[in-house]
C-alpha cells in the first residue's frame, strides 16, 4: 500500500510515488469498456453463499471495489498464501512470510457469478501483468493471485487466464498466480473498510478512488453504493 516510507517519515515521497505509479496502478480506469467476459463460468449453483479470495496489490483498494459489487455480501481484508503459521501486518510487510495481502469475498452466486468477479478483478482492481507489485507498492505481498476454494473455481480461473493471454488482452502475459486456498488470516481491524474510513487519505484518493469510478463506469449494472452493515 505504498506506506512503508511513511513509517520512516517519508510520507510526501510516498504520495509522489503513487502519482508516478497511478497510470499502471489504476489500469482499469484507463479502459472505457471492461475486458471480455469469461467463456467458461459457473452454471446453476445451488449454494446461497460462495467464497472467493483474490490478491491484487494493496488490500484497501481490492476491498473497496468489491464492497460495491451487487451480489457481494461481505468482504474481509487479510493475508493468504504464506508459509508462516500466522500472519499480521508487520510480519507480512517485512516480506519474510510469503503472504500476500488478499481479500476474502462472500457472494451470492444467484446474483453474481465467480467468472464475473474474475472479470472485475482483471478489469478494474489491478494490473495482472505487474510481477510482485502494483504501481508504487513493491514486493511479493502485493502480487497478483487467485486463491481458489473449489475445483470449479480453479477450472474457471485457469480457463479465463488462458483466454485473456490467447487474446493478448493486456499486451503482455498475465503473471497472476492460481493456487489453492490453504488458510486466510483476517487483517487487523484498522485495515477493514480502510478506504471508507479514510476517504481523504492521499493514497486512497490517488490509487483507489479511480478504481471505484472505473467499476461504476464499466459495470454500471453491478455497481451499488457501499453501506457498512
Assigned domain for 204 exists = yes
Assigned domain for 155 exists = yes
How far apart are the C-alpha atoms of 139 and 106, rounded to whole Å?
27
| pLDDT score recorded for residue 135 | 86
Assigned domain for 224 exists = no
**What is the domain range of residue 36?**
5-218
Assigned domain for 229 exists = no
How far apart are the C-alpha atoms of 176 and 181, rounded to whole Å?
14
How far apart are the C-alpha atoms of 114 and 152, rounded to whole Å?
10
Q: Which of 17, 55, 58, 87 is catalytic?
A: 58
Residue 13 and residue 200 in contact, taking contact as beta carbons nearer than 8 Å: no
Taking CA atoms, 53 is separated from 106, 146, 185, in Å, by: 9, 6, 11
Assigned domain for 227 exists = no
Whether 58 is catalytic: yes
Residue 89 and residue 191 in contact, taking contact as beta carbons nearer than 8 Å: yes
CATH number at residue 195: 3.30.1060.10
Note down pLDDT in tens along the chain; length 229 residues. Answer: 444 334 323 343 344 343 434 433 445 556 668 999 999 999 877 788 999 999 999 999 999 999 999 999 999 999 999 988 899 999 999 999 999 999 999 999 999 999 999 999 999 999 999 999 998 899 999 999 999 999 999 999 999 999 999 999 999 999 999 999 999 999 999 999 999 999 999 999 999 999 999 999 999 999 999 877 5
How far apart are the C-alpha atoms of 208 and 215, rounded to whole Å?
11
Assigned domain for 134 exists = yes
Residue 207 and residue 58 in contact, taking contact as beta carbons nearer than 8 Å: yes
Assigned domain for 84 exists = yes
Sheet hosting strand 72-80, strand order edge to edge: 177-180, 144-148, 50-56, 100-107, 72-80, 184-186
| pLDDT score recorded for residue 40 | 97
pTM for the model: 0.89
| pLDDT score recorded for residue 16 | 38
The count of structural domains within the chain is 1
- Closest to 218 in 3D by CA, of 1, 27, 25, 18: 27
Q: Write the DSSP symbol of residue 150.
A: S
Assigned domain for 81 exists = yes
Amino acid at each position: 500500500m505504498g506506506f512503508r516510507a511513511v513509517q520512516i517519515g517519508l510520507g510526501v515521497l510516498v504520495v509522489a510515488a503513487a502519482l508516478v505509479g497511478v497510470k499502471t496502478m489504476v489500469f482499469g480506469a484507463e479502459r472505457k469498456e471492461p475486458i471480455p467476459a469469461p467463456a467458461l463460468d459457473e452454471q446453476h449453483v445451488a449454494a446461497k453463499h460462495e467464497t472467493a479470495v483474490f490478491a491484487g496489490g494493496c488490500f484497501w483498494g481490492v476491498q473497496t471495489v468489491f464492497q460495491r459489487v451487487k451480489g457481494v455480501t461481505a468482504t474481509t481484508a487479510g493475508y493468504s498464501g504464506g508459509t508462516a503459521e500466522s500472519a499480521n501486518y508487520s510480519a507480512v510487510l517485512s516480506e519474510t512470510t510469503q503472504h500476500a495481502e488478499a481479500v476474502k469475498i462472500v457472494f451470492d452466486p444467484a446474483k453474481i457469478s465467480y467468472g464475473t468477479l474474475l472479470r472485475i478483478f482483471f478489469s478494474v482492481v489491478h494490473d495482472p501483468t505487474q510481477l510482485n507489485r502494483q504501481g508504487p507498492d513493491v514486493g511479493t505481498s502485493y502480487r497478483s493471485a487467485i486463491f481458489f476454494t473449489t475445483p470449479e473455481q480453479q477450472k474457471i480461473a485457469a480457463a479465463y487466464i488462458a483466454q485473456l493471454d490467447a487474446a493478448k488482452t493486456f499486451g503482455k502475459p498475465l503473471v497472476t498466480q492460481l493456487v489453492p486456498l490453504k488458510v486466510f488470516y483476517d487483517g487487523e481491524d484498522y485495515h477493514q473498510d480502510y478506504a471508507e474510513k479514510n476517504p481523504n487519505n492521499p493514497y486512497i484518493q490517488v490509487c483507489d478512488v479511480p478504481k471505484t469510478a472505473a467499476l461504476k463506469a464499466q459495470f454500471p449494472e453491478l455497481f451499488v453504493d457501499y453501506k457498512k452493515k
